[in-house]
Amino acid sequence: MGNGWIRKAVPRGAWYYSAEQDVSYCGALRIHATIVTRDPIFGEIAYGGVLTRKTDTVSVIPRDGLRTRFRVIRDDQRLHMELIGAGFAAGQTVVVNDKLTRMQFTLENPVKASHKAQLCINGLAAGDYKITVDGKSQTVRMPGDAADHWLELPVGAGPTAKVTIEKAS
**19-58 pLDDT per residue, tens:** 566 666 666 767 789 999 999 999 999 999 999 999 999 9
Cβ burial 31-48 (10 Å sphere, 16+ → b, else e) = eebbbbbeeeeeeebbeb
88 has pLDDT over 80: yes
Q: What is the pLDDT of residue 146?
A: 82
| Residue 158 contacts residue 109 (beta carbons within 8 Å) | yes
Residue 144: its pLDDT value, please?
Answer: 87
In terms of Cα–Cα distance, which of 25, 130, 116 is closest to 14? Answer: 25
- pLDDT tens, residue by residue, 124-136: 999 999 999 999 9
pLDDT of residue 9: 72
Mean pLDDT in residue range 126-154: 94
Q: With 60 as the cut, is the pLDDT of residue 18 above it?
A: no
- The domains found in the chain, sorted by start residue, are 16-167 (2.60.220)
Nearest Cα neighbor of 48 from 32, 34, 69, 38 is 34
For residues 59-82, average pLDDT: 95
For position 14, what pLDDT does the model report?
59
Beta partners for 88? 107
Predicted pLDDT of residue 145: 86
